[in-house]
Amino acid sequence: MNRCMRITCSVQNDRSILHSFVQKYAKTFSLEGMVQPISDTAVRVIVCGTQEAIEDFVDALHHGVIEHKLNTIEIEPFLKNRDYRGVFRVIE
């Protein structure tokens, strides 16, 4: 069964590092959705996929906290309101 999560992350430095990190793992776990900036240091990530893939993605984010100096990660369930057509997009 597919499910969706909305994840808000903030980073101390440049958020472009966060974009590439999120996109890499979204492709690795075959997730669809998007990442878009919400401020100079924060992004919102919407990911949809299997339960297991989303759990693996969230685990990778938690490991990335140390590497990329993420300040906060907020994770909440999300009801899919559009079709991402199997693609993960980066919105600038």
Q: Given a cut of 80, is residue 16 above it in pLDDT?
A: no
The residue among 14, 69, 73 whose CA lies nearest residue 39 is 14
Q: CATH number for the domain including 43?
A: 3.30.70.100
Task: Tell which wins on pLDDT, 37 or 14.
Answer: 37
Task: Tell which wins on pLDDT, 80 or 30.
Answer: 30
Indicate yes or no: pTM above 0.75.
Answer: yes
Report the pLDDT value the prediction gives residue 87, as an integer from 0 to 100: 81
Domain that holds residue 26: 2-90
DSSP string, 36-87: EESSSSEEEEEEEEEHHHHHHHHHHHHHHHHHHTEEEEEEEEE---S--TT-
Q: Which residues contact 16 (CB under 8 A, 6 or more apart)?
A: none
- Tokens 């999300």 belong to residue: 78
Q: Specify the number of domains making up the chain.
A: 1
What mean pLDDT is reported for the chain?
A: 83
Q: Given a cut of 70, is residue 65 above it in pLDDT?
A: no
Give the whole-number percent of the chain exceeding pLDDT 70. Answer: 87
